Amino acid sequence: MSNLSYQILPNPDDNTHEVRLFVDGIDWIEAGHLGLDPPDLVRELTREHRNHLTIGRCGCGVLGCDDLVVDVQRKLYSVEWSCLNRKSAVFDAEHFDSFVATLVKDNSWEPVGRTVERHLNEIFAGRKTGDGYAFDWSSTRVEPNVMTLSVTKNGHQKLLQFSWDGETVASALSRGQQFLQKQFND
Ligand SMILES: [Zn+2]
């Protein structure tokens, strides 16, 4: 059985991070592809019915451009990954599950802006603005010291913004709570 491990690196080109995946110590994603941003990979690894798993994205950074996808075969005691031009990898199912659990809990890579996004995404999840727009995502990476929230209604997107100090989670969360009460009162 193979060993699966990861390393999370910043990708300054598009202001994301990437998760490199190592099978028995060898980079399984290989040069030319970027790893997924950590929350994207977590979403891939934790969704139901995952016969295919996107583990890498095009070197340009865009998901859906030239994804690296593996076929996943889950059996009682093993998880097998196979894809073109690579030797299949077989993991012990318990080892694989604990790998996923560790990655899901790992926030150690986050700059403060990403920690803020994670908290705000939880706070705003499922909420709607007074005029019926549903929350999609938050980003500290659009403008410095500005929190950007995407909301949509019938396919129409709006971006809402509020300021924060750019440095502390506490500042962002208290500004976020005020914003929530004022704007998301549906
Ligand atoms: Zn591309």
Both tokens assigned to 128: 């709607």
pLDDT at position 186 is 64
- For 58, other C-beta atoms within 10 Å of its C-beta total 15
Give every residue of the chain whose pLDDT is below 70, as ranges: 186
Distance between Cα 62 and ligand 1 center (Å): 6
Give yes or no for a contact between 34 and 11, defined as CB atoms under 8 angstroms apart. Answer: yes
Q: Which residues pair with 65 in a beta bridge?
A: none
- Closest to 73 measured CA to CA, from 83, 60, 85: 83
* Distance between Cα 168 and ligand 1 center (Å): 34
List the one residue out of 62, 60, 56 whose CA is nearest residue 6. 56
Q: What Rg, from alpha-carbon coordinates, does the chain have?
A: 19
Calculate how far, in angstroms, residue 81's C-alpha sits from the geometric centre of ligand 1.
Answer: 24
Q: Which amino acid is at 140?
A: T
Q: How high is the pLDDT of residue 84?
A: 79
Q: What is the pLDDT of residue 113?
A: 97
pLDDT at 119: 97
Q: How far is the CA of 8 from the centre of ligand 1 (A)?
A: 21
Both tokens of residue 172? 């962002």
